[in-house]
Amino acid sequence: MFSKRGCSHCTFQNCPVRPYAKRKPNTKQADCIYDCLDLWLVKWAGLLGDGHQLHGISTFSFQTWLSQARQSKDYALPNSSWSQGMMDLYSRFLEMCKDGTWKRIPSYTWLYRSTQLNLKKSLKLTSEKERKETRLFPRNMDTEGVGFEYAMFLNPSEKRMVCLFQPGPYLEGHPGFAHGGSTATIIDSTIGGCAIFVAGRVMTANLSINYRNPIPLGSVVLVDSKVDQVEGRKVFLSCQVRSIDGQTLHAEATALFIRLDSTKSLQQQMSSQ
Amino acid sequence: MFSKRGCSHCTFQNCPVRPYAKRKPNTKQADCIYDCLDLWLVKWAGLLGDGHQLHGISTFSFQTWLSQARQSKDYALPNSSWSQGMMDLYSRFLEMCKDGTWKRIPSYTWLYRSTQLNLKKSLKLTSEKERKETRLFPRNMDTEGVGFEYAMFLNPSEKRMVCLFQPGPYLEGHPGFAHGGSTATIIDSTIGGCAIFVAGRVMTANLSINYRNPIPLGSVVLVDSKVDQVEGRKVFLSCQVRSIDGQTLHAEATALFIRLDSTKSLQQQMSSQ
């Protein structure tokens, strides 16, 4: 599945990368899904519809999506709230990106924007602006440093995704420590990103977390996830959350993700697993 | 453990309720932990230290805590963002509180405030105000309706905690649906509240979630958790997340919580389980 023999091996059933690659004459078809950030955005956004019906969103416009991504702020870049430990770890992974072993994954406040997604009726919010706007859960804070600060890197050949995570003071559970739900959120996001890389559009089916040591707010941890096995539509993954020095194991997790069939609704697929 | 024979059966090793009950002559000792909101606040805040060392917080002042709780906004009360479905469900449970079968659980942006909790050094935030302030993860939003809107009710005799949950647009994962991490967060909070009721100060050790049907943003679901078994310091619980009409099972979960020993740090206890 990770063969570089060409886009015909892409895990997207209706790969939006292929037509795009054709428009870039200098792109080797064999490497097209690894070659440029734009294409990574597509791969990363594996949840996108692809012309089929996806719970009420009738059509997917790749060009529109790409245009939105280019205009949006990438939240996975360093900001002034990042601690020295976070910056050092980020620089280390960025260095490893130079030879193509690792890829930095951009991150936005959304996975897919659609004006057709009618939330107005179901959501009774305080202002017109908020009524329209949705935000990706781990990117929903306006102020830097108070919530989830994180950046992800992917190692395609190892089928591995890591996430540098600095939990802010608004993620509190026990006094001074990250809430178990915030740990679950960053694990789900990282392990989910890894599953997307293998299977395209996926959905979490099971997530099991063993909490070993609480994560202090303001510290930096490394969420390290990998694909263990793929069986048909099922992708099995595992994950460890460790301190930067590797000495403290904060949490371990296993997960099962299901590859989605773009011709069925999310509900249909999740209830029939 | 749920016997109403008296405070001597309270699961708190050094129960702060007993001295308080003595100061209230009209409180039946047998029912004192169920009788008034203040005492519920104590029980609910089972994570509090009790005079022992708790990861750097050296002393617990029950009076200070109670005073803070009285002055704080209770976020588990209805606000204008709640949908009719949420209001109806809330009213139904409130009605069941009248005979004492159920108890409404208040909710704040914190579990325990301490000026001794020095986060300044480890957190590098943008303003002095934010540097000092921590917030309970599911209560970290300023605007009503955009994040977690929820209210919990406890049924002591059934060892059962339910949570009415309306996910807002800032909890998005798949377009239009709640992020798996936000579902994990509300499950951890509800099931954790149930564990606190049985065991006092607890910490999540394992959380395993089967995601069955995605939760639409703006919908209302009922998170229903109960204690299955208690073995020494271990509390085993299970949980279901269903639509209001009960027809759609959104998620199922099991969890293991560990009762904390107030003489040891969190880290010591979590690593030695």
The CATH code of the domain that includes A266 is 3.10.129.10
Report if residue A185 sits inside a domain.
yes
**Chain B within 8 Å of A234 (Cβ-Cβ)?**
no
- Please indicate, yes or no, if residue B247 is contained in any of the structural domains: yes
Bridge partner list, B239: B225, B253
The answer to whether the Cβ–Cβ distance between A143 and B126 falls below 8 Å is: yes
From B204, B273, B205, B201, select the one nearest B10 (Cα to Cα).
Answer: B201
Q: Do B203 and A214 touch (CB under 8 A)?
A: yes
The CA distances from residue A47 to A71, A113, A173, B5, in Å, are 20, 11, 30, 55
Which of A190, A188, A168, A172 has its CA nearest to residue A180?
A172
Q: Alpha-carbon dihedral of residues B88, B137, B177, A72, nearest 10 degrees? A: 140
- Considering only CB atoms, which chain A residues are within 8 Å of B172? 110-111, 134-137
Residue A130 resides in a domain = yes
Query: Is the residue at B242 inside a domain?
Result: yes
Q: Tell whether B137 lies on the interface with A, counting CB pairs under 8 A.
A: yes
Tell me the three state secondary structure of residue A47: coil
| Residue B11 confidence class, pLDDT cut points 50, 70, 90 | very low
Which tokens hold the place of B248?
A: 């759609």
Among the partner-chain residues B55, B81, B177, the one whose CB lies closest to the CB of A124 is B81
CA distance A113 to chain B (A): 8
Q: Which residues of B are catalytic?
A: 188
Rounded CA separation B246/B24 (Å): 42
Residue A4 lies in a domain: no
Handedness of CA B199, B203, B205, B210 (dihedral sign): positive
Residue A100 touches partner B, C-beta closer than 8 Å? no
Residue B50 pLDDT exceeds 50: no
Closest-CA residue of A relative to B167 is A123
Task: Indicate yes or no: CB of A189 within 8 angstroms of CB of B181.
Answer: yes
Q: How many domains does chain A have?
A: 1
Within-domain flag for B36: no
B219 is a domain residue: yes
Domain that holds residue B186: 74-271
Residue of A nearest to B216 (CA): A122
Predicted TM-score of the model (pTM): 0.76
CB contact B87 to A (< 8 Å): no
User: Is B268 touching A (CB cutoff 8 A)?
Assistant: no
**pLDDT in single tens digits along all 273 residues of chain A:** 222 333 333 333 333 434 433 434 444 432 333 333 334 444 444 433 333 322 222 234 455 556 666 667 889 999 999 999 999 999 999 999 999 999 999 888 876 544 333 344 444 443 444 445 899 999 999 999 999 999 999 999 999 999 999 999 999 998 889 999 999 999 999 999 999 888 888 899 999 999 999 999 999 999 999 999 999 999 999 999 999 999 999 999 999 999 887 656 555 665 565
Rounded to a whole number of angstroms, the distance between the first and last alpha carbons of chain A is 23
DSSP B127-170: SHHHHH---BGGG--SSTTSSEEEEEEEETTTTEEEEEEEE-GG
Lowest mean pLDDT among B61-65, B170-174, B181-185, B259-263: B61-65
pLDDT band for position B108 (50/70/90)? confident
Q: Write out the H or E segment, with its range, that includes residue A242.
A: strand A234-243
Inter-chain CB proximity B145 and A133 less than 8 Å: no
Look at B181 and A188 and tell me if their CB atoms are within 8 Å: yes
In this structure, is residue B254 part of a structural domain?
A: yes
CA angle A89, A91, A95 (to 5 degrees): 120
Coil/strand/helix, residue A236: strand
A257: enclosing H helix or E strand: strand A249-259
> Residue written as tokens 């739900």?
A181
HSE toward the beta carbon, residue B76, CA cutoff 13 A: 19
B249 forms bridges with which residues in the sheet? B242
